[in-house]
Amino acid sequence: AAVNASGIAVLELEERPSLVVDGQYVPRDWWRAEQLYSSASDRAKIPANYPEFQKLVEFVLVTLLWFLPAALAVYGFDYVTGGAALGLRDQQ
């Protein structure tokens, strides 16, 4: 990658390879370069892409609100039939 006027090269990765990215700059030979730079290497840790806490709470609440009526309907059907239809309760 080419360096800018201040000697910094900026790279953008198309895919996330892992959580840790190693980078190394190898300069051109000194007799071929107009501006001399020294070699450098660096390791960067990419932060994990977790959802925010509020989004997780919203997901749990929406999931409960969607499945609560279905669970109550199944339990009510089992209660009305005395456990004979679904067998969720022990019969005496």
Which among 9, 5, 13 has a CA at the least distance from the CA of 27?
9
pLDDT(3) > 80: no
Each residue's pLDDT tens digit, 54-77: 999 999 999 999 999 998 888 888
Each residue's pLDDT tens digit, 22-36: 888 888 888 888 878
* Mean pLDDT for the chain overall: 82
Which among 46, 44, 3 has a CA at the least distance from the CA of 25?
3
Segment (H or E) for 20: strand 20-25
